[in-house]
Amino acid sequence: MFSFDLKSGKIMVMIKKSLKNANIHLRKPATARKMRVRSIASSTAIETGESIAKIEAKLKTNRRSKHRVKLG
């Protein structure tokens, strides 16, 4: 992707970074997880009418699922 710098009149190349690397808030795994949980909870709340806090609590308590499928 290219951008044009108006001050210098030069064409600059923009380095493509993933959102995880570009956003300083997503670099820490704990912070990134909290933000994902909040995002999922708020969109689910809009669709279901349930409160965000209840959905967040459900997502936090169901973090470690014992029902994992193992291939072997």
Token digits of residue 5:
């710098």
Asked whether residue 55 carries a pLDDT value surpassing 70, the answer given is yes
Q: Nearest 10 degrees: CA dihedral of 48, 52, 53, 54?
A: 10
**Who wins on pLDDT, 13 or 50?**
50
Cα–Cα distance measured from residue 26 to residue 32, given in angstroms and rounded to the nearest whole number: 5
Phi then psi for residue 33, to 5 deg, are: -65, -45
Asked whether residue 28 carries a pLDDT value surpassing 70, the answer given is yes
Annotated domain spans of the chain: 17-61
Q: What is the pLDDT of residues 58-68, one digit of tens each?
A: 988 866 656 66
Residues 6 or more apart whose Cβ sits within 8 Å of residue 60: 37
Q: Please report the pLDDT score of residue 72 as a whole number.
A: 61
Q: Please report the pLDDT score of residue 27 as a whole number.
A: 80
Residues 6 or more apart whose Cβ sits within 8 Å of residue 63: none
